């Protein structure tokens, strides 16, 4: 009977041990909750897109009109500039010297006019006196003619002197204009986003990096990239919201601006030197009011665009249409059909 008891208890112990082990081991661990709330779709049906924040009307890359030494930079990053405000100054010593020469030649030209005027008056006086002599024997016809020519020549000389003064003024103005050009000014009111030039540096006309980057950071826009697969689902004017990466509790309401008519290859910014092109995307532009929290140009956002309906390829309508098209086209268009016709 010892055996019976022993085996019975052993069996009981075995079953209890197994049940206890299984109870502990087979509990499914619940997935850890997301660290941040993942971006969530606020609409019933939606088209999701990856977006980037940019300054409205794009950014302006300021380049110098001519290559030259930079002598002074008037602005720093984040300055606000109005249209026409100076941004930086190129070396103008040579043109200033020219300007002085040109300006200095003006009094000489003006003096020449006065000189010619006096001479003209003198010759005209002489001519008048000669003509007033009525006695043909006292004054020869030849003298009168010669004086008349002299007077006409003096008149032309005066005109030329006046023209010379005008030319000298124009030349001075030209140098002045070239000089003004060396002060580079803001083409529109904007904020300075980048300054890549310092006084003393040589500014090249065809530099890769813009000397100064201007942009309007007051009103921003979102450029949303939509996979070409989903491109037909976007209806112009659909409302949308954007979420900053890792900051999903506050949505930014967007207003539709436009759809870019050209589908471009998507660029993945992986931080690698080479960027990969893997698909093409439709770009939709949305504007928004600056929210209360800080937001920067160049930031990535997740965009959700409301989809009006389900204009997806309907399995009931899609393939049959295609089939009908194929069947109507194939007898006339297929090369086999043509061949058969030519045989006959």
Partner 1 sequence: MNYVALKMLFGDRAKYLMLLAGLTFSTMLIVQQGSIFWGLMTWSQSGITNVNAPVWVTDSNINQVEEIKPLADTTVNVVRSVSGVEWAVPLYKGVQRARLRDGNYEQIALVGIEASTLIGRPGRVLEGKIEDLRSPEAVAIDQLGVERLGGPENIHLGTTFEINDHRVRVVAIVKTQKSFQNFPFVYTTYERALSVTPQERRKLSYVLASPVSGVSPEELARRIHEETGLGAFTEEQFGWKTVQWILKNTGIGVNFGTTVLLGFIVGMAISGQTFYLFTVENLPQFGALKAIGASTGMLARMILLQSFTVGTIGYGVGVGLATLFGLTAGSGGRLPFKETWPLLVGVAVALLLICTVSSAISIRKLAKLEPAIVFRG
Residue 31 in contact with partner 1, rule: CB under 8 A: yes
Only segment of 69-77, 150-158, 172-180, 223-231 that touches partner 1 (CB under 8 A): 223-231
| Closest C-alpha to 303, from 39, 35, 37, 38 | 39
Residue 24 in contact with partner 1, rule: CB under 8 A: no
In terms of CB distance, is 141 or 316 closer to partner 1?
Answer: 316
Only segment of 21-29, 130-138, 163-171, 336-344 that touches partner 1 (CB under 8 A): 21-29
Binders of partner 1 among 135-164, rule CB under 8 A? none
Residue 294 in contact with partner 1, rule: CB under 8 A: no
Closest approach, Cβ 271 to partner 1, in A, equals: 5
Total number of residues that touch partner 1 (CB under 8 A): 60
Two tokens, residue 325:
């098209």
* Rounded CA separation 288/216 (Å): 13
Residues whose CB falls within 8 Å of the CB of residue 266, separated by 6 or more in sequence, listed in order: 225, 227, 277, 278, 279, 280, 281
Residue 189 in contact with partner 1, rule: CB under 8 A: no
CB atoms within 10 A of CB 129: 11
Residue 238 in contact with partner 1, rule: CB under 8 A: no
Largest CA distance in the chain: 183
Residue 208 in contact with partner 1, rule: CB under 8 A: no
* Rounded CA separation 60/202 (Å): 20
Residue 36 in contact with partner 1, rule: CB under 8 A: yes
Out of 145, 219, 268, 314, the residue judged to bind partner 1 by CB under 8 A: 268
Give 58-99 as a 3 state SS string.
EEEEECCCCCEEEEEECCCCCCEECCCCEEEEECCHHHHHHH
Only segment of 9-17, 109-117, 195-203, 254-262 that touches partner 1 (CB under 8 A): 9-17
Residue 222 in contact with partner 1, rule: CB under 8 A: no
Two tokens, residue 24:
């502990």
CA angle 45-46-47, nearest 5°? Answer: 150
Q: Which residues bind partner 1 (CB under 8 A)?
A: 1, 3-4, 7-8, 10-15, 17-18, 21-22, 25-26, 29-32, 34-41, 44-50, 225-227, 229-230, 233, 245-248, 266, 268, 270-272, 274, 276, 278-279, 281, 302, 304, 307, 312
């Amino acid at each position: 009977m010892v055996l019976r008891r022993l085996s019975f208890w052993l069996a009981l112990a075995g079953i209890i041990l197994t049940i206890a082990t299984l109870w502990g081991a087979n509990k499914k661990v619940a997935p850890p909750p997301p660290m941040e709330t993942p971006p969530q779709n606020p609409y019933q049906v939606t088209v999701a897109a990856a977006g980037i924040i940019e300054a409205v009307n794009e950014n302006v890359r300021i380049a110098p009109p001519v290559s030259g030494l930079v002598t002074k930079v008037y602005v720093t990053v984040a300055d606000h500039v109005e249209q026409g405000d100076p941004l930086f100054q190129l070396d103008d010593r040579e043109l200033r010297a020219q300007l002085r020469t040109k300006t200095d030649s003006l009094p000489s030209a003006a003096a020449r006019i006065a000189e010619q005027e006096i001479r003209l008056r003198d010759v005209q006086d002489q001519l008048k006196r000669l003509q007033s002599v009525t006695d043909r024997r006292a004054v020869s016809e030849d003298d009168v003619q010669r004086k008349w020519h002299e007077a006409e020549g003096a008149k032309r000389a005066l005109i030329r002197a006046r023209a010379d003064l005008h030319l000298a003024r124009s030349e001075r103005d030209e140098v002045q204009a070239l000089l003004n050009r060396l002060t580079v000014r803001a083409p529109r009111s904007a904020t300075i986003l980048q300054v890549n030039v310092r006084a003393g540096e040589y500014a090249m006309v065809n530099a890769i990096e813009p000397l100064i980057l201007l942009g309007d950071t007051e009103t921003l826009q979102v450029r949303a990239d939509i996979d070409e697969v989903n491109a037909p689902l976007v209806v112009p004017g659909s409302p949308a919201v954007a979420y900053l990466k890792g900051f999903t509790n506050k949505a930014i309401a967007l207003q539709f601006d436009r759809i870019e008519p050209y589908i471009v290859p998507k660029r993945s910014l992986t931080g690698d030197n080479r960027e990969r092109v893997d698909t093409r995307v439709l770009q939709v532009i949305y504007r928004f009011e600056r929210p209360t929290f800080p937001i920067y140009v160049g930031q990535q956002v997740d965009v959700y665009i409301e989809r009006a309906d389900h204009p997806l390829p309907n399995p009931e309508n899609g393939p049959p249409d295609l089939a009908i098209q194929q069947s109507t086209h194939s007898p006339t268009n297929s090369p086999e059909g043509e061949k058969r016709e030519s045989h006959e």
